[in-house]
């Protein structure tokens, strides 16, 4: 192979429409001595320009947000809405209202029962005894506390019960046999917790004097 520079030859050849090869050769492979096609250069240079623009917008102007930021912001918004909902509910809930309005309303109590049956019976039992019958007159204790034994561990006022369901076992308590109750306020709106409370009041008429 002849040595570089071969530019004159390349120019000459390209004018004639011929293909020119670079002089070097490795393992029998040679390179064309040609300009890359315009469409290719356009994409290449375009992506470089895009990169610079994107970089500046992303890092200098904070124009785009990564998924983490978007999710964090959305969660904060949701938390805000939830806190507002809870405040609104707490503003109208009192021990008296729970006993004399909520728990006397059959629709409210029926809604509470439905929520109880689909969320709470695994630990508190369908009959609220925190036990499950396994036949032969034997029963097994479930993780939760019985809810019809007249004992209310964290306060026996309706609002105490609302608070316990909403916030779960208080942070300073070790729970019941080491088992704590989760904060259901994380999973259901305050309305449902009020309905659950009304249902529990209805199930324990002796505990909540009118």
Chain residues binding ligand HEC by CB under 6 A are 116, 119-120, 122-124, 143-145, 147, 151-154, 161, 164-165, 169, 173, 175-176, 179-181, 184, 196
What six digits make up the tokens of 108? 């409210």
C-alpha dist (Å) from residue 58 to 50, 54, 55, 168: 12, 6, 5, 42
Which residue, 105 or 152, is less far from ligand HEC as judged by CB?
152
Task: Give 77 or 173: the residue with its C-beta nearer to ligand HEC.
Answer: 173
By beta-carbon proximity to ligand HEC, the closer residue of 18 and 149 is: 149
Nearer to ligand HEC, 103 or 120 (CB): 120
The backbone torsions φ and ψ at residue 48, rounded to the nearest 5 degrees and listed phi first, read -65, -45
- Shortest distance (Å) from residue 210 CB to ligand HEC: 20
> 10 Å Cβ neighbour count for 202?
20
Cβ at position 61, least distance to ligand HEC in Å: 47
- Give the β-pairing of 29-32 and 21-26: antiparallel
Q: How far is the CB of 111 from ligand HEC (least distance, A)?
A: 13
Angle at which helices 158-167 and 190-203 pack, to 10 degrees?
A: 130
């Amino acid at each position: 192979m002849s040595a570089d520079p071969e530019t004159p030859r390349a120019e000459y050849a390209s004018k004639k429409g011929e293909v020119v090869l670079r002089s070097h050769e490795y393992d029998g492979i040679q390179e064309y001595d040609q300009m890359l096609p315009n469409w290719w250069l356009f994409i290449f240079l375009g992506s470089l320009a895009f990169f610079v623009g994107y970089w500046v917008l992303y890092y200098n102007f904070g124009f785009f947000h990564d998924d983490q930021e978007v999710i964090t912001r959305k969660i904060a918004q949701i938390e805000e809405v939830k806190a507002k909902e809870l405040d609104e509910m707490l503003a109208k809930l009192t021990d008296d209202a729970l006993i004399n309005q909520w728990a006397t309303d059959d629709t409210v109590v029926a809604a509470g029962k439905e929520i109880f049956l689909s969320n709470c019976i695994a630990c508190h039992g369908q009959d609220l005894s925190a036990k499950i019958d396994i036949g032969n007159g034997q029963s097994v204790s479930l993780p939760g506390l019985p809810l019809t034994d007249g004992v209310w561990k964290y306060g026996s006022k309706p609002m105490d019960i609302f608070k316990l369901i909403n916030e779960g076992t208080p942070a300073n308590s070790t729970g019941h046999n080491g088992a704590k109750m989760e904060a259901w306020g994380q999973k259901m709106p305050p309305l449902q917790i009020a309905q659950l409370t009304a249902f529990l009041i209805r199930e324990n008429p002796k505990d909540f004097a009118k």
